[in-house]
Chain A
Amino acid sequence: MRTFLILLLLSFSALANRTGDAVGTAAFTAGATAGFVAGTQHGYYNSIIHQELKGWSDKRTDTTTELSNDCGLNSEFHLVGNHARNYLLIGLSNTKAENVVVQNSKIEFVYDNERKRFPGWLGHPSDYEVRAGWWFVGYIPFPTKEEFHGTDVIEAKIPVLNSKGESCVVTATFNKKEEILNENISYSIFEYYLEGGVSLFELGSTRKLGSPESLFGLGLNFYLKPNHGFGFHLLSETGFKGSDKERVYREFEKGRNYRANTFMINLHYIYRHFFSPRFTLNYEPALGNQVVHDEKKFRKQGLGDPISSAFVISQKFMFNWNFSSIRSHPVLNINFFGGVGPIYIWIPAQKINGESIAGHRFGLLARFGIGF
C-alpha cells in the first residue's frame, strides 16, 4: 500500500534541486502534484530498491543502473516497474554553465535496435528546463509492459536542448539478462469477485445432508506479490436435498420437505501462476467456518435449534481469463476477468443433533471479477 501511495504521488511528479544542496527546497511538478524532497527521495529509493526489474539487472551491481555523461550532463537510468506499468527512471544532473531543456515530447525508445516506440504518457508531456547546477529525477512510462516480453535490448533516447537551441541526445542502453514473466505483464493487486456454481458429489457422512442445488459466493483478493496473496470469501450452498435427509432431521420433522443451507466464511492464501499475461491459475486453500441451518420455520415451531457450526478446510483451483482491461492511470489499471474451476470442501467434524455430517463435498464454480 505504501508503495502504491508513493507511486501515486510520484507518477505525476519529478523532482528538481540544486546539485550539492543538503536539503532541497523546491519540488518540480509536471503540472500536478508536488512532493516534499525527503518523501520524493524516499520514493526514488523505494522504486529502485523494490521495483527494479531483476531480469534486466547486471550481476556486477545487482541493479539496472546505467550511467552516462552524454552531452556534458551526468545522468543515471534505471528500469523499474509496478503491477501496471514499467518505467524508465532518470536522474539528470546539469553540471554545465548553462540551462538545458529536456525534450520530454521527443523521447524515444528503440526495442531490439529496430522497433521505435514513444513513451506511454497519459497526459501531454511538457519539456522541462534544468537550470545550470540543478538536477532532476523523473519517471518516463513505457507504452506497455507486455512489450518487454521477447525484447532483449531497449535503448532510451532523451533529446536535450542547450541555450543556443542545439540538440544533443542522451542515450542509455539496457540488455535483458533473464526473462521474468511477472516483469512483462500487467496484473491486479486487488480484486473482488462473485461466484456461482453447482455441486458435483459428496463423500462421507455429509451425504446425509444431500446435495446443494446451487453455490453462490463472493470474495476479495489482495496480492502482496505477483504470485502470492491472501483474501477471504463467503460461500453459501443452498437447497440441500437428498434421500438421507430424514436421518439428520428426523427429530424435527418426519416426512416433511425441507431445505438446508450452509454458509461459510473463509480466509485463504493465494498462489497465482501466470500461464500468459491474461491466463492465470489461482490456487486458494482456505480455513473457515461452516454454519448449517434449515428454514426458519423449524425454529418457530419450537422443534429445537438446528443450527450447527464447524471448522472447515476448502481448496479452489480457479482458471482465470482476463478478458478486458482499462488503463487510464499510471498505477490504476482495471481488469475484468472470468474464471472457472473446482472447489473441494472438507468438513473434519460436524454434528447435527448428535449425528455426524463430516465429509467431503466437491463442486464447480464460475467466477466473474474486477481487479485493480
Chain B
Amino acid sequence: MKYLLLVSFLLSCSHQVPTVRSPYNLKEVNGFLITNSYVSPFDVPTEGDTLLVKYDVVLKNLEKRKREIDLSHALVTSEKKSFPLGCQSYENKQVTFAAEANEIFRITCEAKVSKSVANSGDTKLLIGISLAGENAVFEYVIRAEDVK
C-alpha cells in the first residue's frame, strides 16, 4: 500500500519535474561569446493554440570595436514552419543597438509557436538570433505534454 501511495505521489508530481529545454551552450558566434544559462527548464506557457517560447541569452562582444546589432530577423524554426522571434536588449528594450568593445549584455526573446509543431510527439525547434550578420542557433525542445 505504501508503495502505491509513493508511486501515486511521484506520478502526481511528475509534471513539475524540469527537463532540459535547451542544452547548455557556451559558444562563440561571429565574435560574440554567448551563454544560454538563463533559459528556463520549466513548463512552456500556453496561450490558446500557441506556445509562448522564451529565450534568454547573455553575450559578450569579444571584438575591440563597437558592433551594431539588429535583432529584427530572429526566427524560431520547426521542421515545417518558421515563427517570428521577438528579441530585444534586456537593458533598454531595443531591437537595434550597438554593443561596445568587450561589453557584456543580455538579450531576451519571445515567440508564439503553434501547438501543432508537436502534433506527432516531441520536437526540436531551432532558435535563431541574428548577431551582426550571423545567426546564433540553439535547440529548444517542445515535449508532447507541453501541448496537452
Indicate if the CB atoms of B33 and A17 lie closer than 8 Å. Answer: no
Indicate if the CB atoms of A93 and B27 lie closer than 8 Å. Answer: yes
- Is B18's beta carbon under 8 Å from chain A? yes
Asked, given contacts A45-B38, A67-B59, whether A17 binds B24 with beta carbons under 8 Å apart, the answer is: yes
Contact with B along A13-25 (1 / 0, CB 8 A): 0000101111110
Chain B residue, CB-CB nearest to A76: B35
- Is A280's beta carbon under 8 Å from chain B? no
Indicate if the CB atoms of B23 and A21 lie closer than 8 Å. Answer: yes
- Is A327's beta carbon under 8 Å from chain B? no
Contacts of A48 in B (CB 8 A): 37-38
**CA of A314 to CA of B73, assembled, Å:** 61
191-240 of chain A: CB within 8 A of chain B: none
Shortest Cβ distance from residue B92 to the other chain A in the assembled complex, whole angstroms: 9
Contacts of A60 in B (CB 8 A): 90-91, 103-106
Indicate if the CB atoms of A41 and B27 lie closer than 8 Å. Answer: no
Asked, given contacts A21-B23, A38-B18, A60-B105, whether A65 binds B35 with beta carbons under 8 Å apart, the answer is: yes
Bin the interface of chain A by size.
35 or more
Give the 6 A-B residue pairs with the shortest CB-CB distance, closest first: A67-B60, A61-B106, A42-B18, A93-B26, A60-B91, A65-B58
Interface of chain A, helix or strand or loop or mixed?
mixed
- Is A37's beta carbon under 8 Å from chain B? yes
- A69's partner among B62, B104, B106 (CB-CB below 8 A) is B62
- Is B20's beta carbon under 8 Å from chain A? yes
- Is A59's beta carbon under 8 Å from chain B? yes
Indicate if the CB atoms of A137 and B24 lie closer than 8 Å. Answer: yes
- Is A62's beta carbon under 8 Å from chain B? yes
Contacts of A58 in B (CB 8 A): 104
**CA of A108 to CA of B52, assembled, Å:** 43
68-111 of chain A: CB within 8 A of chain B: 68-69, 74-76, 78, 91-93, 95
- Given A44-B37, A48-B37, A135-B26, 8 more pairs with CB closer than 8 A: A22-B139, A24-B23, A41-B20, A49-B40, A61-B105, A65-B58, A69-B62, A91-B37
Indicate if the CB atoms of A76 and B24 lie closer than 8 Å. Answer: no
- A76's partner among B26, B41, B141 (CB-CB below 8 A) is B26
Shortest Cβ distance from residue B58 to the other chain A in the assembled complex, whole angstroms: 5
**CA of A59 to CA of B105, assembled, Å:** 10
Q: Tell me how many residues of B have a C-beta within 8 Å of chain A.
A: 29
Shortest Cβ distance from residue B71 to the other chain A in the assembled complex, whole angstroms: 16
Contacts of B38 in A (CB 8 A): 45, 48-49, 63
**CA of A49 to CA of B23, assembled, Å:** 17
Indicate if the CB atoms of A61 and B58 lie closer than 8 Å. Answer: yes
**CA of A66 to CA of B26, assembled, Å:** 12
- Is B119's beta carbon under 8 Å from chain A? no
Indicate if the CB atoms of B23 and A22 lie closer than 8 Å. Answer: yes
Chain A residue, CB-CB nearest to B16: A2
Contact with A along B39-70 (1 / 0, CB 8 A): 11100000000000000001110100000000
Contacts of A24 in B (CB 8 A): 23
A-B contact pairs, 28 of them (CB 8 A): A19-B27, A20-B23, A20-B25, A21-B23, A22-B23, A22-B141, A37-B20, A38-B18, A41-B20, A41-B41, A45-B37, A45-B38, A58-B104, A59-B91, A60-B90, A61-B91, A63-B58, A65-B104, A65-B106, A67-B35, A67-B60, A67-B104, A75-B26, A76-B35, A91-B26, A91-B35, A93-B26, A95-B27
Shortest Cβ distance from residue B38 to the other chain A in the assembled complex, whole angstroms: 7
Contacts of A21 in B (CB 8 A): 23
- Is B134's beta carbon under 8 Å from chain A? no
Indicate if the CB atoms of B28 and A74 lie closer than 8 Å. Answer: yes
Candidate in A44, A67, A95 with the most chain B CB atoms within 10 angstroms: A67
**CA of A210 to CA of B26, assembled, Å:** 71
Chain A residue, CB-CB nearest to B35: A76
Chain A residue, CB-CB nearest to B28: A74
Contacts of B19 in A (CB 8 A): 38
Chain A residue, CB-CB nearest to B59: A67
**CA of A95 to CA of B34, assembled, Å:** 13
Chain A residue, CB-CB nearest to B58: A65
Candidate in A37, A58, A63 with the most chain B CB atoms within 10 angstroms: A63
**CA of A349 to CA of B103, assembled, Å:** 65
Shortest Cβ distance from residue B140 to the other chain A in the assembled complex, whole angstroms: 10
